[in-house]
Amino acid sequence: MKPATLGLSVFALTLAGLAAPVAAHAETACADLVKTALPHATVTKAVSEAVGDKQVCKVSVTSKPTADSDIRLELWIPEGAAWNGKFVQLGNGGFAGQIPVQQFGRVVRAGYAVSGTDDGHQSKVITAADWALGHPEKITDFGWRAVKETTDISKALILAQKGGKPAKSYFNGCSDGGREALMSAQRFPGDFDGIVAGAPAAYMSQLFGISAVQQQAMTKPGGYLGAPQRDLLQKASIAQCSPGEPFIRDPAACHFDPGKLGCKPGQSPKLAEEGGCLTPAQVVSAKAMYTGRTDAKGNVAFPGFSPGAESLNGGWNAWLTGPTDEARPHAMGFAFSSDAFKYFAFQDPNFDFLKMDMGAQYAAAQKTMAAEVDAPNPNLAAFKARGGKLIQYHGWNDPAIPPRSSIRYYEDVRKTMGDTSGFYRMYLVPGMLHCAGGMGPSGVDWLAELDGWVTTGKAPGDITAVGGPGQSPGGPPSQLLCPFPGVAAKKGDAYACTVPAKKG
């Protein structure tokens, strides 16, 4: 079998979609892929191993598109008839730093070739951004370039091994991976036939802004929201908006005001300590959680989080408050934002975002970060024109990325492009936390839904989400999801679709 000798000209053909059909070529031996010539990239390893009942070619690559780049990626290709002819690129999470190979197995067992990247740096801590200090090219790699490099290299290696391009190419990611998904649709509309964007951090620089507002509020004397206060907020919000339910079924219709839980004159401080009411400082903190960041006129500049899962494990304690005030700096939202301002915005390891001015100082920082890491462009005309399909989903109780930010993006696309139902569907999942988990059933095979849409041309409609690993005890076994904006109804024992509120 001839060794792979893929040069620049063949690489260009791959990207142009001019490669020969897969069936016309006998597979190149997996081990020979180490000889594949790639622009500014090297195949460091290629081995054939069993994954379940499939034999898979596992390829490791290092790409250096700039002198300061060090992008690592892996590609797994099912060998022989085990390959379904399709390719899936998986997104990363947080600030990345590791290739998401733990997710590869389930995708390759379904017959897909699958790849992913560490986004251009190596770190075991996904909230750490110290790798960006003095390395602007690495910020660019994280923002978008590592994903593009992975796409191009993966397709080139599939061509080298199979002799033809994938019949279909998909991107599937949640959180930062959802941001990467939208970034691909916006910047590189010809790369994927279909994209799944889960809980996308599309406005990443804005997320750091609402975190700064929330953390500054909780830093003020008496402002911390401890376990008793989180429990009070959750019980009160569910009692108001979905009495008797395990979660809020229609968050769009829930207008919860934590100010009504404020301690009345004459009530003892002990009552507040025990979670019977909120101190004035705690009311301010709670309102910051739900409202988000406001502008100088008091208008919502970027939305906050939805009520109903404040005390749930994996909710506010993991992302916003920490289990205790002392542990708050280790909460994911605190840690992400602190490092973003230190290393993305100000290049100053000593910068304290708890003391940051949320006016001009934040505006300058946000502008600096947005150019590389945000994906807000609502013009998806090129992606639509090439026949691309986009599915977006978001948990209504997401404590990391506000679900109303997804509504904001969806409405911006509609405002820019008109009717988008032919290529873009969004689902909001009541009771779901960040990407998974929570009281609401959220189990959906989004990749299968996307593949069905792309291959048959039939857009997904109502989808039944089921419970499973990650769902908190006490939730129902299933709930009905329908494309945004949905229909308020209840069908039997299943929770039905809801009508989300407008952006804000």
- What's the pLDDT tens digit per position in 43-102? 999 999 999 999 999 999 999 999 999 999 999 999 999 999 999 999 999 999 999 999
Residue 351 pLDDT class (50, 70, 90 cuts): very high
Q: Do residues 311 and 403 share a domain?
A: no
- Name the domain boundary from 309, 343, 371: 371
Conformational region of residue 249, where left means phi above 0, alpha means psi within -120 to 50, and beta covers everything else: alpha
pLDDT reported for residue 268: 86
Q: Is the pLDDT of residue 416 over 60?
A: yes
| CA distances from residue 190 to 173, 376, 447 in whole angstroms, order as listed | 18, 18, 19
- Name the domain boundary from 341, 371, 401: 371
What number is the average pLDDT over the span 396-407? 97
pLDDT reported for residue 496: 56
Q: Is the pLDDT of residue 500 over 70?
A: no
Domain count of the fold of the chain: 3
Classified as helix, coil or strand, 73 is strand
| CA distances from residue 136 to 68, 115, 132, 203 in whole angstroms, order as listed | 9, 25, 7, 20
Pairing status of strand 389-395 against strand 194-198:
parallel
CA 350/CA 363 separation, integer angstroms: 19
Q: Which two tokens stand for residue 389?
A: 């399909």
Query: What mean pLDDT value characterizes the chain?
Result: 92
Residue type (1 letter), 354: L
Q: Do residues 191 and 278 share a domain?
A: no
Domain interval for residue 403: 167-202+375-504
Q: State the angle between helix axes of 227-241 and 280-291 in degrees (0 to 180), rounded to the nearest 10.
A: 60
Residue 504 pLDDT class (50, 70, 90 cuts): very low
Residue 252 pLDDT class (50, 70, 90 cuts): confident
Q: Do residues 357 and 246 share a domain?
A: yes
pLDDT reported for residue 498: 59
CA 105/CA 50 separation, integer angstroms: 10
Residue 8 pLDDT class (50, 70, 90 cuts): very low
What number is the average pLDDT over the span 367-396? 98
Q: State the angle between helix axes of 280-291 and 204-219 in degrees (0 to 180), rounded to the nearest 10.
A: 170
Helix extents (H) in 322-457: 332-339, 360-373, 381-385, 403-417, 446-456
Instruction: Confirm if 206 and 302 have CB atoms less than 8 A apart.
Output: yes
- Name the domain boundary from 330, 347, 371: 371
pLDDT reported for residue 484: 86
Lowest mean pLDDT among 361-365, 444-448, 486-490: 486-490
Q: Do residues 381 and 303 share a domain?
A: no
Q: Is the pLDDT of residue 16 over 60?
A: no
Task: Kindly report the CATH number assigned to the domain that includes residue 443.
Answer: 3.40.50
In b/e form, how buried is each residue of 44-60, taking b as 16+ CB within 10 angstroms?
eebeeeebeebebbbbb
Classified as helix, coil or strand, 262 is strand
What number is the average pLDDT over the span 308-337? 98
Q: Do residues 46 and 70 share a domain?
A: yes
Q: Is the pLDDT of residue 378 over 80?
A: yes
Q: Do residues 147 and 49 share a domain?
A: yes
Listed residue (143, 288, 326) closest to 212, CA to CA: 288
Q: Do residues 146 and 27 share a domain?
A: yes
CA 37/CA 35 separation, integer angstroms: 6
Q: Do residues 305 and 274 share a domain?
A: yes
Q: State the angle between helix axes of 204-219 and 360-373 in degrees (0 to 180), rounded to the nearest 10.
A: 140
Cis peptide upstream of residue 483 (ω within 30 degrees of 0): no
| CA distances from residue 364 to 270, 341, 357, 369 in whole angstroms, order as listed | 43, 11, 11, 9
CA 70/CA 478 separation, integer angstroms: 44
Q: Do residues 33 and 97 share a domain?
A: yes
pLDDT tens by residue, 144-194: 999 999 999 999 999 999 999 999 999 999 999 999 999 999 999 999 999
Strand partners, 320: none
Residue whose entry in the numeric block shows the structure tokens 């840690």: 335
Q: Do residues 324 and 412 share a domain?
A: no
| CA distances from residue 365 to 346, 360, 376 in whole angstroms, order as listed | 7, 9, 17
pLDDT tens by residue, 439-449: 999 999 999 99
Q: Do residues 353 and 448 share a domain?
A: no
pLDDT reported for residue 497: 67
pLDDT reported for residue 253: 87
Q: Do residues 441 and 499 share a domain?
A: yes
pLDDT reported for residue 495: 52
